[in-house]
Every structure is written in structure tokens, then in C-alpha cells.
Chain A
Amino acid sequence: MNKYIERLQNGIFKENPTFVLMLGMCPTLAVSTRAINGIGMGLSTLAVLILSNMVISLLRRIIPGQVRLPAYIVIVASLVTLTELTLQAYMPALYESLGLYIPLIVVNCIILGRAEAYANKHPVGLSVMDGVGMGLGFTLALTVVSMLRELIGNGTLFGARVLPASIEPMAIFVQPPGAFLILAVIIAVMNALGIKSRQRHLVEEGCNGGCAACGRACDQRKGTDEK
């Protein structure tokens, strides 16, 4: 049982995909304008991640190693399409506000990264828990970022006014530059507190190693450098 709990803690804290592994930056920056969008995006990704980890773990002995990446991409793309259609049917408002970023879950590094780093080597139960942990960690991170942005940029939280009207909200924080700024501040605070993250890896090495396809590019580059 402990192994399952450990997976949850690992995803939420120790290897938080956003703050520690620095994966999935695009949706983190793009949809975090309002807290409700952040949670919606987080939960959509969570659903895809659990299902993709489950399917890939079940098929791990069947998919040949050489074509595993295309196979994973097809599996993930199918699951994303399912999620997209479900959202469109039952949550049209959220579907509208997330828009383009729902189909783009396919290229979210977290999903391929977990498939490659965990699900294709471990049994189904653990892989599902890994998906739950990572998905919750991502949801938590997105919620934190989007709550900060909504509070500072709009003076509200989940649409309800929190800051008194006398404080003028800084609208720049719900606009694109605010996303970069908030993330910069969060990472700087983590640095100051001594929390280790792979941010140096992200900006210094050109790709975040957890991601399958990026990892491949890294290997190739190392290969050519050595020649």
C-alpha cells in the first residue's frame, strides 16, 4: 500500500511536474488567467494522464520498443479527443474558455514524459497512481498560479471579489506578460528558499529531460557533439 501512497506524494510534492520538473509550461502560462480555468485545465490533464498511464502500462509488453513513441502519441491523442468531446458536451463554458489548449494536451510533455519514464516499466496499479499523483500535482500548481494571477490582476478569486474596490488591480497580470512574471517570481522564491528544481536544466540544456521526444533530441545532439 505504501508504494501507492508514495507515488501520490512523489507527484504532488517531490517531483511536482510544474514547479520541480518544469514540464508542461505552455498550458501553465496560457490558461492561468482565471482560477477556474486553471483547475479545469488541471483536471482535464489529470483525466488524460490517468487513462494514458493505464493504457500504456497495460500495453507495455505489446508495443515494440522502436515504435513506442508514435504508438504513445496515437493513444494520447485518442484520449485527448475523448476528453475534448466530453467537455464540449457537458461543460461548454469551460470548453470555450480553454479553447485551443484542450487539443494541445497531446503535446504536453508531462503526459509523454510519464509514459516514457514510468508507465512503460511499471504495473497498472502503480502507473495509475503515478498518473493521479502527477495530475494532482499539475492541477495544484496551475491552481496556485492562476489564483495568484486572478487575485493580483483582477482582484477576484473564482469570480468573487476579494480585494476591496479601493485597491486598483494590476491588469498586466491577467495579460500575457503577467504569466511570465508570476512564474519568474515563484521560481525566484523557490530558489531563495533553497527548494531544488530542474529550472537550470530547462534553461541551460535546451530540453527538459523528462519529456520523451525532447530526450531523444538531447541524445542525438550529444551524439553529434561528440563527433
Chain B
Amino acid sequence: MKSLIMIIVGCALINNVVLNQFLGICSFLGVSRQMKASLSLGVAVIFVMTLASAVCSLLYTYVLAPLSLDYMKTIVFILVIACLVQVVEMFLKRKSPAIYRALGIYLPLITTNCAVLGVALTNVQDGFGFAESVLAGFGTAVGYTLAIVLLASIRSRIREEDIPAPLRGAPIVLISAALMSIAFMGFANLSI
């Protein structure tokens, strides 16, 4: 039990997917302009990443590993993720239009979010079982959401400041991300 909680904490805080491993930078910098969009994307990522980790873990354990097709995992995982996103999109459209309106537009973005593929591959690399993979996927996605929501709230304040002209736009956002990354380094010594 303790080790399972540690997986979530480790993935969300200690090895934060954006600030420590640099996965999903595109959407982290792009979508964080608006708070509401960041939250919606975060929820969508939590949903897809947990699901993708589960499906990829099952596929790897019961199909790829027994057939010793280990080298096919990149191709299989990216296809699974792309299909999964499509299925989730169609399902939401049909069953829950309200959620679809809120999240739908961010779902295609997630296909190319390298964090999802990254987690699926890391789970295999670390030899995680099913439960561990799902928790790692969930924890990583929570870390992603935390990072993007924090950056969005920093950016909403930056907009009101008088920033030197060359630093406007990407540089000041990157500097904010650097400071967040320094803050997250403090979690490195965290242990339960």
C-alpha cells in the first residue's frame, strides 16, 4: 500500500512530468494562457493517461511480452493511444455532450502529447504491473495538471506586469517555468 502511494507521489511531485522530464511542453506552454482551458485539458489528460496506461500495460503483459514483440511497443502504444482518444471522443459525444463540449477540443491535442506515450513506455521500462501502471499514469497526469494550472495562474498575474519588451511572450513564460522547476526540485528529498 505504502509503495503504491509512493508511486503516485513520485510521479506527481518528485519526477514531475513537465518540470522534470520535459514531456508535454507544447501544451504546457500553449494552453496555460487561460485558467479554464488549463483545467479542462488537465482533466482530459488525467482521464486519457490513466486509461492509456491501463490498456498499454495489459497489451504489453498479455500480447507483446508473450510473443516477444518487445520492439513493437512504440508502434503499438502510439496506435493504441490514438485510437483510444478517438473512442473516448466518440463516446463522450454520444453519452455526455456537456463533458464533450468542455473537453472535446483538447482530446486531439492529447494524441500528440508526448507525456502519454512517455508514461506508457516508462511503465514498461520500470517493469510495472497493472495496478502500478494505472497509478503511475494517474499520478503523472495529476502532476501535469498541477503544473499547467500553476503556470496558468502565474501567467494571469504576469499579464498585468510591465515586462521588458524582449522578455514578453515566450521568455517570461519559460522563466516562470524555470522558477517552478526549481521549486519542484525541493520535492526530491521527499519520502514517506
Contacts and interface: CB of A to CB of B under 8 A. Distances in A.
A203 to B, nearest CB: 5
A207 B106 CA distance: 11
Contacts of A65: none
Contacts of A169: none
A181 B178 contact: yes
A180 B21 contact: no
A18 to B, nearest CB: 12
A188 B74 contact: no
A49 interface: no
A29 B79 contact: no
Interface in B142-192: 165-175, 177-179, 181-182, 185
B34 to A, nearest CB: 9
A64 B34 CA distance: 37
Contacts of B117: 103-104, 106-107
A179 B78 contact: no
A25 B175 contact: no
Nearest to B28: A25
A78 B71 CA distance: 10
Given A73-B79, A112-B112, A214-B112, A205 B71 contact: no
B79 A184 contact: no
Interface residues of B, number: 54
B170 A187 contact: yes
Interface string A185-227: 1011101100000011011111110010110110011001000
Interface string B6-33: 0000000000000111111111011101
A172 B30 contact: no
A21 to B, nearest CB: 12
Contacts of A221: 105
Which DSSP category, helix, strand, loop or mixed, fits chain A's interface? helix
Contact of B173 (A203, A208, A217): A203
B35 interface: no
A81 B185 contact: no
Interface stretch (B49-57, B90-98, B118-126, B127-135): B118-126
A99 to B, nearest CB: 8
Contacts of B87: none
A214 B26 CA distance: 9
A180 B30 contact: no
B72 interface: yes
Interface string A126-169: 00000000000000000000000000000000000000000000
A26 B106 CA distance: 19
A73 B82 CA distance: 9
A188 B171 contact: yes
B84 interface: no
Contact of B114 (A104, A181, A183, A187): A104
Contact of B22 (A80, A176, A203): A176
Interface of A: 22, 25-27, 29-30, 70, 73-74, 77-78, 80-81, 84-85, 100, 103-104, 106-109, 112, 172, 175-181, 183-185, 187-189, 191-192, 199-200, 202-208, 211, 213-214, 216-217, 220-221, 224
Closest 6 CB pairs of A and B: A180-B178, A184-B174, A199-B170, A30-B22, A192-B166, A206-B30
15 contacts: A26-B24, A26-B26, A70-B79, A74-B75, A100-B122, A107-B112, A112-B112, A176-B181, A181-B178, A184-B178, A191-B171, A192-B165, A202-B29, A203-B33, A211-B112
Interface of B: 19-27, 29-31, 33, 37, 71-75, 78-79, 82, 101, 104-106, 108-109, 111-114, 117-118, 121-122, 125, 165-175, 177-179, 181-182, 185
